Amino acid sequence: MPAKTAMEKAMETPAMRQYLETKKRYSDAILFFRMGDFYEMFFDDAVEASEILGITLTSRHKDADIPLAGVPWHAADFYIKKLLEAGKKVAVCEQSENMDSTKKTMERNVVRIMTPGTVVEESSLNENSNNWLMSVFFKKKEAYLCWVDVSCGNVFYAVSTEACVSDIIDLVDPKETILSEASSFVKGEVLDCEKFTDWVPSATAAEYLESLYGCTFDKCVLASLKQLLFYLDSLYFGNFPPLRLPVEWKNGDTASLDYNTVSNLELERTLIGGERVGSLLWAIDKTQTPMGKRLLSEVIKNPLKNRDRIILRQCCVATLFEDPVLLREIRDYLGGIKDFERTLSRILVRRGGPREISMLSTSLLQAVRLRSYIMLMPEKMPFFAGDESLKLTEEQIISWQKRFLEDSPLLYRDGGFVNADFSPEVFELSDFIHNFRSHIVALEAKEREKSQIPTLKVGFTKVFGYYFEISKRFEKQVPDYFIRKQTTVNTERYFTAELKELEEKISSAQERLTELELKILDDTVTEIASFKDDILAVAKFVAWIDLFSGFAKLAVEKNYCRPEITDEEGIEIVDGRHPVVEACLKDARYVPASVSIGSGNRRFCLVTGPNMGGKSTLMRMTALIVLLAQTGSFVPAESAKIGIVDAIFTRVGASDNLSRGESTFLVEMKEAASILNAATEKSLIILDEIGRGTGTYDGISLARAIAEYIITKINATTLFATHYHILTELAEDFSQVANFHMTVREYAGKMRFLYQMEEGGSSRSFGVEVAKLTDMPKEVIRNAEKILKKMEGFDRRMRFENGSMLQADIFSMAEEEKKSVIPEYLKEIEKVLRRIDPEKINPREAMNVVFQLFDIIKESDEEQNF
């Protein structure tokens, strides 16, 4: 039989066998294997983790090269967070026995499994946004999607066509997406997402879901929801997180915003850099609680189109706006409320201990008192008038609060966290343990006196327990009733019946106290779980009242107005301001602008004007004011009347999508096509410089065709900005088209932008003038001015007839342009030469022609000099 290799020997060690058995059960996860004060990773896990975490990769066993990487146990959360951010799944395997156990191999078990979409630990979450786990189920040509934020219990579902799945995923932005094995074949074809986990749920879960939610769902929605729940069940070992009733996403009361609109309007993050600073959220967020911040993020992406619901929200904001005392009181309440919504999830999945319960109780008590206060004023806060009463009482919350010490230890498994005043037995045991030291000291003094051994003292180790320690030079003075326990180099250790009895009492008391404290903790968690629906309801209330107080605070600080909301057509904004641009200005004053569009002959508004004149800012401002108005917020304007829209579509700016092999112009056309296919008469469309990414004639043709389609087929309220001034002729062909331009004035040869939109088209874009504001070489500027003059002459003669550009006229105009620049003296020379027959002219006649030509040129020079 051949000798075993060093690797085979290393693999046979008890610890490595234990590791390999555990890793086999969790092969898809990076395994954090607890060994002493470190979590160790081996083999491929070690290699991968060392690259992601930037930690040292070494090897275990002197003769066997087993890759090894480790992190300190107390810093594990930091490293786990980095792995989750990299899209990895992490399994944590803990030691289940004492470090000093005499067993050769400690028992170890996996106690936590974390994935990017199921994490509940505070250190791995962003309090401002949701952490979504999504499930996608395909049947025929339809997709059924469900997504859940395990950390706070929100659940949504949607039904979509295959073509729209990617847009929903982009909008929701899940951290993790799971597919059933039957749906995996579409992964690369339909879904542009890399965060997938294949998951095959076990038996049907219809009965379980009905018992959980008390209602039934569409079979296909059920299949998607089932995937989610079974996946969660496998990760939390039966400790199920609290989940709300699933809500249909984008129901009939919600206006539509596609991913391009959310991105182009920079609602959550900027287009450049993807930062929160500079986004709409950054500019308007005055909320004080994490629940309010997460709700604000959802609300701005889901504006309402139901007037009654908008007015209901407005009334609450108006009440606080008009009553600064009430607003201050509410914000004082909110200031003391922490994220108890997510704390509840940690507690119920056994990831939170006494500290979390204390925090939950303190914040929950504050929130319940605020809710009781608000419920006394239904006429002022009609939004909350229909809220059901709670079974959860202040007394119940206070009882949870009083059970645990405020400074409970982090490692609560060792006990020492229950308030002694809560339980007589806890008090008795705690008192005995607290006074045990005095009994030991008294016994030590008594035995030292009886034996006359000055070095006698009581010691303790976890392995040998309590003992009397005596120097070997006093060994002959040791009393007969001392029983030897251990020998060291310089001392002997003994115990007595009395010391043994004390040790058994303290050991029994400590075990009983720990057992009792853990039972009190478990009972409290069970009690909290029984009130989870009420706690989630209070968390929802806090989110909404925080949202309304934030809107009111914003309106007070920024001088926002309450918009008039109507079901009629039209958008009237007087002295509107772009909320983000205004927030970015420090000392400079924002120049407001007014907009009146969407009704009568202003359904389609063509906006021309200079570069840097404010076209894009004004159009974005209009879209954002409409959006804010339909969320129930006040808006940045002197006054506003908003006709409700069913969707907002934007096409502003473009960039390459290299990952899909799409050019800038192709991206632009795909976005435009999406708008034309989805918009309705009730939509608001914002198009900025459509067609600029290709040749001039192609761009003008496409821009004109897209405009005509919107005018004749959709008839949506539209702001259409362009530098193709020829498109202003649309107003001559269609009664619902109005031309507008951004105003500019020239003073002493310099431009001054007024940032106002006025009726009428513009004939110039002032591009050369803008170039003068840069360090462009003067020679380039002069040459551009010459070229511009020629081009403008050509451009003025371009015309549309019945919606089509006359291409033949373009070429004839080009010929005329060439003729028009021939000097007059050359025409005279041409006349002279045409009268001559070269074959018949004699030398004298030829000489006369030369003098005649010379006289024409001389006369031309004299005229130019004059």
The pLDDT tens digits of the residues spanning 471-509 come to 988 988 999 999 999 888 888 999 999 989 888 888 888
- Do 649 and 684 touch, CB atoms closer than 8 A? yes
**Judging by DSSP bridges, how do beta strands 154-161 and 491-495 pair with one another?**
unpaired
Reference 250, options 161, 175, 156; nearest CA is 156
Find which of 412-421, 464-473, 769-778 is predicted with most confidence, using mean pLDDT: 464-473
Is pLDDT of 692 > 50?
yes
pLDDT classification of 789: cutoffs 50, 70, 90: confident
Q: What is the mean pLDDT of residues 378-406?
A: 90
Beta bridge partners of 566: 643
- Do 321 and 552 touch, CB atoms closer than 8 A? yes
Predicted local confidence at residue 814, as pLDDT: 44
**Judging by DSSP bridges, how do beta strands 750-759 and 737-747 pair with one another?**
antiparallel
Chain mean pLDDT for the chain = 84
Beta bridge partners of 605: 719, 738
Q: Side chain identity at 439, as an amino acid letter?
A: H
Predicted local confidence at residue 430, as pLDDT: 84
Helix, strand, coil shares of the chain, percent, nearest 5, are 50, 20, 30
**pLDDT higher at 782 or 8:** 782
- Do 528 and 348 touch, CB atoms closer than 8 A? yes
Predicted local confidence at residue 217, as pLDDT: 66
Is pLDDT of 183 > 90?
no
Predicted local confidence at residue 104, as pLDDT: 60
**What is the pTM (predicted TM-score) of this model?**
0.82
Residue 716's alpha-carbon distances to 460, 599, 605, 672, 685, in angstroms, are 83, 10, 11, 14, 7
**pLDDT higher at 658 or 627:** 627
Indicate the SS3 state at residue 288.
Answer: coil
The pLDDT tens digits of the residues spanning 553-564 come to 999 999 999 999
pLDDT classification of 751: cutoffs 50, 70, 90: low
CA 91/CA 21 separation, integer angstroms: 13
CA 288/CA 277 separation, integer angstroms: 17
Residue 146's alpha-carbon distances to 143, 156, 675, in angstroms, are 10, 6, 26
Find which of 129-138, 441-450, 464-473, 557-566 is predicted with most confidence, using mean pLDDT: 557-566
512: tokens are 């009983």
Predicted local confidence at residue 799, as pLDDT: 55
Supply the DSSP string of 514-551, one letter for each residue.
Answer: HHHHHHHHHHHHHHHHHTHHHHHHHHHHHHHHHHHHHH
The pLDDT tens digits of the residues spanning 324-374 come to 999 999 999 999 999 999 999 999 988 888 989 999 999 999 999 999 999
Q: What is the mean pLDDT of residues 734-762?
A: 78
Beta bridge partners of 751: 746
Reference 288, options 541, 628, 547; nearest CA is 547
Residue 404's alpha-carbon distances to 346, 395, 397, 417, in angstroms, are 17, 15, 12, 6
CA 22/CA 42 separation, integer angstroms: 12
Predicted local confidence at residue 661, as pLDDT: 44
Predicted local confidence at residue 762, as pLDDT: 67
Q: What is the mean pLDDT of residues 397-419?
A: 82
pLDDT classification of 181: cutoffs 50, 70, 90: low
Q: Which domains does the chain have, with CATH numbers?
A: 6-114 (3.40.1170.10), 122-249 (3.30.420.110), 285-420+531-558 (1.10.1420.10), 424-524 (1.10.1420.10), 564-765 (3.40.50.300), 775-817 (no CATH), 824-865 (no CATH)
Reference 248, options 229, 267, 211, 221; nearest CA is 221
Is pLDDT of 280 > 90?
yes
Is pLDDT of 15 > 50?
yes
CA 816/CA 810 separation, integer angstroms: 10
Q: Which residues contact 706 (CB under 8 A, 6 or more apart)?
A: 672, 676, 687, 690, 691
pLDDT classification of 552: cutoffs 50, 70, 90: very high
What phi, psi does 608 have (nearest 5°)? -115, 175
> Could you identify the residue written with the tokens 């959550």?
268
Predicted local confidence at residue 191, as pLDDT: 44
The pLDDT tens digits of the residues spanning 264-278 come to 999 999 988 889 999
> Could you identify the residue written with the tokens 């009393």?
479
Predicted local confidence at residue 587, as pLDDT: 67
In 86-172, DSSP assigns E strands to 90-95, 108-114, 133-139, 142-149, 154-161
Is pLDDT of 796 > 60?
no
Q: Which residues contact 541 (CB under 8 A, 6 or more apart)?
A: 367, 371, 374, 384, 387
